[in-house]
Structure 1
Amino acid sequence: ATHGTAPKYAGQDKVNPGSVILSGVMMLEYLGWKEAAALITKALETTILRKTVTYDFARLMEGAKELKCSEFARAIVENM
């Protein structure tokens, strides 16, 4: 992953999973699974553009709907 473990947030369903998801995208690209990587990237972009985001983005985006980590992940899947 591209960030620390943030143990103070453990069990709070709060932290933005975006960097871990994008690390997975990088792995898929490395493996040659470009279509899967593009699908995930596009879904993540769509989710953010719809302003359905975790607390860290919500506080910076006017009119955003704040989601828990699990809700954000679910929204990404729904946008695939």
Structure 2
Amino acid sequence: MVLRPDDFDVVVLPNLYGDIVSDLCAGLIGGLGIAPGANIGDDYALFEPVHGSAPKHAGLNRANPTALMLSAVLMLRHLDECDAAERMLGAIRAVISEGKDVTYDIKRTVTGSTDGSVGTSQYADALIAKLQV
């Protein structure tokens, strides 16, 4: 799974092992701060960041909202709002690729340092600006 993740479309596991494997696999895409989650049943679907809540970051303007936004991308696709999903995904990709208005964890993953990172609000403002283009 680590060497050839593209070999897997879906992995079905009990809850405990699913949590462990999903947390480990999050490292393949940049960490838990970026990993979206979807629980899809026959009648209902729930979309959430894999990491859950982050109360230690509450009110500090340092939380990375990417996992939440990518969960929204999954939700939009599930609702057949594919154009909106692609616009949001494009904005996220653009801001992260530019690397200047990103939170400390993204900056550290990309550059090895948190120097020049921004808070949640500035990151969100950069994403909104990309959506308005």
- Residue of structure 2 equivalent to 1:46: 94
Structure 1 65/46 Cα, relative in aligned 2: closer, same or farther at 3 Å?
A: farther
Unmatched 5+ stretches in structure 1: none
Shift of 1:60: 2.9
- 1:55 equivalent among 104, 107, 110: 104
Q: Percent identity?
A: 34
- Residue of structure 2 equivalent to 1:76: 127
Root-mean-square deviation over aligned CA pairs: 1.6
3-state DSSP of counterpart to 1:61: helix
1:26 aligned onto 2:77: no
- The residue type equivalent to 2:70 in the other structure is L
| TM-score for both structures, normalised by structure 1 | 0.90
| TM-score for both structures, normalised by structure 2 | 0.56
Q: Deviations over 1:13-71 (max 9, x none)?
A: 10110000011111111111000000000000000000021000112333874111111
Shift of 1:8: 1.0
Unmatched 5+ stretches in structure 2: 1-47
Higher alpha-carbon Rg = 2
- Residue of structure 1 equivalent to 2:57: 9
Taking CA–CA contacts closer than 8 Å with sequence separation of 6 or more, which of the two structures ends up with the larger relative contact order?
1
